[in-house]
């Protein structure tokens, strides 16, 4: 009976890996739509979000079933509770990708990112994409060392966010309020994707080691 239980518990993490893969696709495609002004790609991201939502519901149903039927304790309980937190954050990362895609769609046939700030925004997108890709491997392998390393990429994201604000507040800004609002929101979306990635990675550390990484309320 316990073998079946642990197989079901492992399947929860398999489901989380699947959702992380979908989020990785969403971030990548949303960025592509943003930097090219491709409305069709933006629509793909927006329409695919329902699949992430449904996958989250399946994980929650499975986790609540394990809680009610198996009454897990200690490490097993820790895993289920962490999984519930993780799937919520993964879904939020998908939602943030949709926000990026909606800005891209709103500004088509033009590109929402002015040429002068494109290098900073492109790098923010690249860091976010890379962090989500790393997160997929962290969840799949329950890799504590890689989870801890992910925080270093988040430091770069924070620096890029500050750079973006400096560009927006520069006296040389000539693109008006609308573009400024777009860039401010986009920077926030990518920053939050990175923050959620770190939070999920920290929960993997919690599952494996039982230790609560600093600044994560699990």
pLDDT computed for residue 6 by the predictor: 72
For the segment 172-193, what is each residue's pLDDT rounded down to a tens digit? 899 999 999 999 999 999 999 9
77 contacts 210 by C-beta, under 8 angstroms: no
Per DSSP, the residues of 121-160 read: HHHHHHHHHHHHHHHHHHHHHT-HHHHHHHHHHHHHHHHH
112 contacts 106 by C-beta, under 8 angstroms: yes
What is the number of residues in the chain? 218
C-alpha span between 182 and 147 (Å, rounded): 31
For the segment 74-106, what is each residue's pLDDT rounded down to a tens digit? 778 888 999 999 999 999 999 999 999 999 999
9 contacts 79 by C-beta, under 8 angstroms: yes
103 contacts 121 by C-beta, under 8 angstroms: no
For the segment 130-167, what is each residue's pLDDT rounded down to a tens digit? 999 999 999 999 999 999 999 888 899 999 999 999 99
Class of the CATH-defined domain 2-209: mainly alpha
Place 216 in a pLDDT band, splitting at 50, 70 and 90: very low
Q: Where are the domains of the chain?
A: 2-209
Please give the biggest Cα pair distance in the chain: 68
Of 39-48, 116-125, 205-214, least confident by mean pLDDT is 205-214
Task: Please report which residue ranges of the chain form alpha helices under DSSP H.
Answer: 2-36, 39-70, 74-107, 118-141, 144-168, 176-209
């Amino acid at each position: 009976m316990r073998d079946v239980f642990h197989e079901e518990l492992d399947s929860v993490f398999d489901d989380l890996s699947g959702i992380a893969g979908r989020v990785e696709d969403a971030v990548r495609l949303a960025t592509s739509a943003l930097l090219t002004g491709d409305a069709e790609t933006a629509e793909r991201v927006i329409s695919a979000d329902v699949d992430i939502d449904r996958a989250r519901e399946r994980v929650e149903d499975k986790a609540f079933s394990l809680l009610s039927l198996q009454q897990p304790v200690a490490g097993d309980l820790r895993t289920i509770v962490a999984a519930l937190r993780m799937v919520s954050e993964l879904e939020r990362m998908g939602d943030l990708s949709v926000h990026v895609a909606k800005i891209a769609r709103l500004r088509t046939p033009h590109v929402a990112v002015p040429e002068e700030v494109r290098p900073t925004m492109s790098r923010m997108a690249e860091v976010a994409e890379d962090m989500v890709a790393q997160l997929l491997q962290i969840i799949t392998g329950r890799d504590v060392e890689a989870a801890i390393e992910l925080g270093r990429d988040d430091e770069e994201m924070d620096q890029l966010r500050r750079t973006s604000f400096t560009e927006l507040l520069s006296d040389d800004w000539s693109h008006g309020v609308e573009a400024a609002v777009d860039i401010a929101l986009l920077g926030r979306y990518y920053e939050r994707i990175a923050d959620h990635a770190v939070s999920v990675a920290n929960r993997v550390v919690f599952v494996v080691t039982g230790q609560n990484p600093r600044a994560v309320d699990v």
